[in-house]
Structure 1
Amino acid sequence: MPRQPRKPSSTGIFHVMMRGINHQEIFCDAEDYYQFINTLDRMRIQYDDDGLPSGTNFTLYAYCLMGNHCHLLIREREDNLAMAVKRISSSYVYYFNHKYFRDGHLFKERFKSEPVNDMAYFTTLLRYIHQNPVKAGIVEHVKDYEYSSWNEYTDEVDPIFHICDTATVFRRIPFTELEAIVNEPLPDEVCCLDYDNEKPKLRLSDDQVWQHIIQLTNTTNATDFQRLEKDLRHEALRELRLQGASVRQLERLTGISRGIIQYIKL
């Protein structure tokens, strides 16, 4: 079945979701999150032949980075949407593959997008994107999440690190009003772009991980797990990833290197 063309946006603004291929984590530690934010910052600026800023490839209004996917509220400028996402993904994948001694794709080939044609839906997306960590149970309040753009709106980060066009938003919505809106949970029936409506995976506790390891391999400690036959060990790690264990958690509990765990296909 041929792919459907992306729906155009009358404003040039889109909600974009980029996700890891096979649900793979695309952010494994704090350095990865900050590298992606830095990538967004570098890729949005256009430079002349002398290396001086000369324009804008795209404008960001909001972002949220969520382990195995990310959300962007982005406006086309010099780049169309496909080129903007290509700039971002290509640069970050180069960094990620080099760091973790891997090659090949990191992001699902076709990113998801939806047009934002009016201010009402733009405001809904500001709420939805920034509430992602709260909805996932990672933090209790929007302001507590480190890897979203909300702290740019509250001026909790140094101005040098501002990469979103908050000024344009504030010309339409005063901060006090926006803060109240963003902190008011969206009703469950509000449906924004998501994983084909699939629910986010629950994370396993360390005790739950070991219960699964014992059931799958009959081993009770990291040393014995490392001595398992390779195929059995990899199959157990694969199953644990599918059950919701994170790469960092498995590396810490089993002593198996992150590169090996990430290499296993889900």
Structure 2
Amino acid sequence: MPHSFSSNQLLKGRYSEHGRIYLLTTVTDNRRPVFENFQLGRLLVNQLKDAHDEGIVHSIAWVVMPDHCHWLIELRSKTLGELMCRIKSRSCVAINQAAQSSGRIWQKGYHDRAVRQEEVVKDIARYIVKNPIRAGLATRIGDYPLWDACWI
């Protein structure tokens, strides 16, 4: 999804409201397909689950694609910036350790969109988890291993 915004421009107007639902998207550095490796994808998933289990977010749906991640959450504590810094830094350490490598995993910044009340959260969640089908990585969502939704 190309855009002409710098990461500083994305910060303008960013507001973290506890109890609000957000769609978050983050992309790997240079769009490297890091998560084609299932084990490395699971390391990111572990960080998403930890944030949920620790009460920082209520995780509604997510999908880890080869070079990016979409995550639909209800923010419970911390700010969006603190949440994403935590997810990206901890997953980077885990992935570099597992891959016996070093360096950046993630592009700077992330995209967030507050979900308006009139939007249907289940429709957004369905759109997220169908990403692998649209990308040609699976013909059925059950065939793709790196996704989840709270209704399943």
Shared fold (TM-score greater than 0.5)? yes
Per the shorter chain, which TM-score range? 0.7 to 0.9
Give the CA deviation at 1:128: 1.2
Q: Which residue of 2 aligns with 1:38?
A: 46
Between structure 1 and structure 2, the one with the greater Rg is 1
**TM-score w.r.t. structure 2 length?**
0.82
Conserved? CA contact 1:8–1:115, under 8 Å = no
1:105-254 alignment to 2 at 5 Å?
Answer: 105-150=104-149, 153-154=151-152
Higher-helix-fraction structure: 1
Q: Separation in 1 of the partners of 2:36 and 2:82? A: 26
The 3-state SS of whatever aligns with 1:149 is: strand
Query: Which residue type is aligned with residue 151 of structure 2?
Result: Y
Query: Which residue type is aligned with residue 12 of structure 1?
Result: R
Q: Which residue of 1 aligns with 2:102?
A: 103
Q: Separation in 2 of the partners of 1:106 and 1:33? A: 12
Does residue 3 (structure 1) correspond to residue 45 (structure 2)? The answer is no
Q: Separation in 2 of the partners of 1:79 and 1:9? A: 8
Give the CA deviation at 1:36: 1.6
Q: Separation in 2 of the partners of 1:106 and 1:6? A: 26
Give aligned-pair identity as a percent.
21
The 3-state SS of whatever aligns with 1:62 is: strand
Conserved? CA contact 2:22–2:72, under 8 Å = yes
Query: Which residue type is aligned with residue 146 of structure 2?
Result: Y
Give the CA deviation at 1:60: 0.6
Q: Separation in 1 of the partners of 2:96 and 2:151? A: 32
Q: Separation in 2 of the partners of 1:28 and 1:127? A: 22
Task: Report the number of matched residues.
Answer: 144
4+ residue segments displaced more than 6 Å: none
Conserved? CA contact 1:65–1:148, under 8 Å = yes
Q: Separation in 2 of the partners of 1:6 and 1:101? A: 38
Q: Which residue of 1 aligns with 2:23?
A: 15
Does residue 85 (structure 1) correspond to residue 74 (structure 2)? The answer is no
Higher-strand-fraction structure: 2
Query: Which residue type is aligned with residue 21 of structure 2?
Result: I
Query: Which residue type is aligned with residue 58 of structure 2?
Result: T
Q: Which residue of 2 aligns with 1:165?
A: none
Q: Separation in 2 of the partners of 1:75 and 1:117? A: 12
Give the CA deviation at 1:138: 1.3
Q: Separation in 1 of the partners of 2:38 and 2:83? A: 24
**TM-score w.r.t. structure 1 length?**
0.49
Conserved? CA contact 1:15–1:72, under 8 Å = yes
Could you say which structure has the greater relative contact order, defined with CA pairs below 8 angstroms and 6 or more residues apart? 2
Give the CA deviation at 1:107: 0.6
- Structure 1 spans left out of the alignment, 5+ residues: 47-55, 155-266
The root-mean-square deviation of aligned C-alpha atoms, in Å, is 2.2
